[in-house]
Amino acid sequence: MFINKDLYKKILDSIPVLTVDIVIFNKNKDKILLFKRNNNPLKGIYYTPGGRVNKNEPLNNAILRKGKEELGLNLNSSELRHCGILEEFFDNSSFGDASSHHINIVYEYILEDINLINLDNQHEEFKWFDINDLSLHFYLKKKINLCLNRS
């Protein structure tokens, strides 16, 4: 569902946005696949893919849609695991200085063949990171811990 830019900026400035995020692990769950963002928030930072849930869109459909749109992957819904909910707060957004508050429904997915990935224009590249890499963004660490049931 398309929302024009001016209206969406007002929404971001006014209320939290419900989103889905995909935490992609290797099969040993000791590495996380991250994608370098082309837009704010977190432009130039390696991060998890995901995005807004549309009105009347079931969460399962939203996560499958984001996997297809952003990564070109046909995710198998039976291989997705719901990890929990995480809030993120950013001082900016893809609409400039409009701050954003995201309520993320976080899912885990195991991916072995990264050759299947076909990125959209939101990301410029991707690579594996160790799950204990100290350079990972604060929210990424929280997502990893949520999926691995660590505090």
- Using CB atoms within 10 Å of the CB of residue 148, give its burial: 0 to 12 exposed, 13 to 18 middle, 19+ buried: middle
Task: Say if residues 47 and 39 touch (Cβ distance below 8 Å).
Answer: no
CA–CA dist 114, 74 (Å, integer): 12
Alpha-carbon distance of 53 to 50, in angstroms, equals 9
Q: Report d(CA 119, CA 68) in Å as an integer.
A: 9
Q: Catalytic: which of 69, 87, 124, 125?
A: 125
| 87 is a catalytic site residue | no
Residues with a catalytic annotation lie at 125
